[in-house]
Amino acid sequence: MEKKELLNLINNSFLSQEKKNSLIQYLNEKGEGEEFYNLFNQYLIEEVKKREKDYKETLDKLDQAIFELDKEFDEKKAKAEKEMEEKLSKTDPLDLFAKGKILDEYTEFLENLTEEYEKRLKEISSKLIISSI
């Protein structure tokens, strides 16, 4: 393979800049040969293994964060639902106007809760992604 093409493969690879520099230096000093490919392969394998490990760890963290977020939001929802049910049970069965207001309040609460969940999850995943790279 031409040196230019190899340099291109190194520079476009997903290796760290440090590893890229090391490969370029090796190529410049010793040229293309079995040992160069061994080193390149070794770096690539190490990087893939590292990514696999980091990826699984970050995914676990995300799962844990989602679990906690779900717990928090499900509790908020359950509390609001209970309050709504209690208010409804105390309302005169014929007082549909009051019932309507209670249902509207709860519906609005759920709409806001959905928006808040989206915002919080985006924040959590962005933080995790940033910390993992």
Partner 1 sequence: MAKRETLSRIKEIKEKIVVGSPEARFKKDVENYQRLYNVSEQEAQKAVFKLRAKEVQEVIEREGIIEPGSKERRSFIAALNVLFGSEKLKEFREASRDPQKMRQFDTGPVTKTEREAMINYYKVNFEGKIPNLSTIEISAKIQMMIYGLLDRFLGDPRLASKESLEIIIFNNLELAADLGKVLEALDIFEKERKKFGIEQKYEKSKNRLKEQAKESLAVIFWRAPIYWLKVVISNPYNLKGFNRFLVVLAETVIFLSREVKYTAKILYPASKTLKDYLETKFI
- Catalog residues that contact partner 1 under the rule CB under 8 A: 1, 5, 9, 12-14, 37-38, 40-41, 44-45, 47-49, 51-52, 54-56, 58-59, 62, 66, 70, 73, 77, 85, 88, 93-97, 99-100, 103-104, 106-107, 110-111, 113-114, 117-118, 121-122, 124-125, 128-129, 132-133
Q: Which is nearer to partner 1, 48 or 75 (CB)?
A: 48
- Tell me how far, at minimum, the Cβ of 120 lies from partner 1, in Å: 10
Place of tokens 């309302």: 91
Q: Do residues 27 and 7 lie in contact, with contact meaning Cβ atoms separated by under 8 Å?
A: yes
Q: Do residues 38 and 46 lie in contact, with contact meaning Cβ atoms separated by under 8 Å?
A: no
Question: CA–CA separation, 47 vs 15, rounded Å?
Answer: 7
Q: Which is nearer to partner 1, 24 or 99 (CB)?
A: 99
Q: Which is nearer to partner 1, 22 or 125 (CB)?
A: 125
Question: CA–CA separation, 57 vs 61, rounded Å?
Answer: 6
The encoded tokens of residue 105 equal 């309040």
Instruction: Specify the amino acid at residue 100.
Output: G
- Tell me how far, at minimum, the Cβ of 4 lies from partner 1, in Å: 13
